[in-house]
Amino acid sequence: MNCRMLAFCPQEKERLHDRCLRNINCVGIGDDLDLPIVELCRRLEADGIECHTYDMRPLEDFSGFLFFEMPKPDNPILLHAKSRSAAIFLIVEENHFILSRNAEFDRYGEFAAVFSYNDDAVARGLAIKLNYALSLSLPPKDAKPFTERKLAVMISSRVKKNRPHLCAYLRLRTARFYEENHPEDFDLYGPGWDKGTYLLQECPSAYKWISALHLNKLLPRYRYPKCWRGTVERKRQVIGGYRFAYCYENTTEIPGYITEKIFDVMMSGAVPIYIGHPSSADIIPRECFVDRANFADDAALYDFISHMDEETWLGYMAAARKFLSSPAAQAFSVAAYVNTVSDVICSTIKQG
């Protein structure tokens, strides 16, 4: 057995065959979403720990296992690792309203270390703080002038179903508002929108009962022919053509949950229209974004952004540039991610 070999255990099959260790864009809508994993692999291998996804070697060859998301208790890889008293690590990426196992805090003790964005778990001593990480950059200097930009854009996958505690319905409301009222001022990108969304899906309370009675699939679908523009491979190449970009987090109920969404917009040279946990403003200054929570509805928000003058808009841009240059932003860098995870894994595996 190689005493210094680490198995990466992703959930998605697209990341297997060592793809996530070599390819910075394996899954999801975004720019370089797997770059932190690629750079982590490079650092570990430079420190003498060989890295592969678990399917590339016999499990007996690995002395450590790094899971991305909480595995099921009967996960065969987890059970194998436990049977050999191997070092087991966990990185929490998805929020627990989408993947409920990530909130099984009583199981965190099964791991040599747990890394999470969740400030509550960190405060309770259950996890080590680990932010979402990305390749930070400043907005391009040759950005499109204010007067040449379209008003707003949203890049998001179509919502397939509503779930409690999630903000998906807000995206649906925004898309529908523009489709019905101001299609000339808004572009919608992302997979699945051509299939449409069920009527009333943007109304969580009504849709909950309709779905519970299994009537949702009997409803006609609402489509977005005026606004939907197809899919994109890289968000930042598109967002820079707009003054504003909607970037709602998947949930507003987990402190510390700040994903790549708002960063992608700031780095693209547009102003984010953002909603997240209230504590997000303790990290990202309110001067950097338009806070969706401050507006009663999409009409009020549209009135605000459509009448914003260039000087005010440039103020948001300047604030974003200042933040992206600050130490606070560096906490979301790939380097910070790699340093945090590699230090713990190296010391644990080498001691073992």
Q: What is the DSSP letter of 164?
A: T
Residues of the chain with pLDDT under 70: 1-3, 26-30, 352
Identify residue 32 by its one-letter amino acid code: D
Rounded to whole angstroms, how far apart are CA atoms 80 and 88?
11
Task: Please state, as a whole number, how many other Cβ atoms lie within 10 Å of the Cβ of residue 205.
Answer: 9
290-348 tens-digit pLDDT:
999 999 999 999 999 999 999 999 999 999 999 999 999 999 999 999 999 999 999 99
- Tokens 């009448």 sit on residue: 307
Q: What is residue 30's predicted lDDT score, i.e. its pLDDT?
A: 66
How far apart CA 246 and CA 265 sit, in angstroms, is 8
Where does residue 281 rank: exposed (0-12), middle (13-18), buried (19+ CB within 10 A)?
middle
- The model's pLDDT over 79-96, given as tens digits with 9 standing for 90+, comes to 999 999 999 999 999 999
What is d(CA 98, CA 261) in angstroms, rounded to the nearest whole number? 17
Quote the CA–CA distance of 351 and 17 in Å, as a whole number: 28
Domains of the chain: residue spans and CATH: 5-134+333-351 (3.40.50), 146-330 (3.40.50.2000)
Distance in angstroms (rounded) separating the CA atoms of residues 9 and 62:
12
What's the rounded Cα separation, in Å, for the pair 145 and 137?
Answer: 19
In three-state secondary structure terms, 205 is helix
pLDDT recorded at residue 351? 76
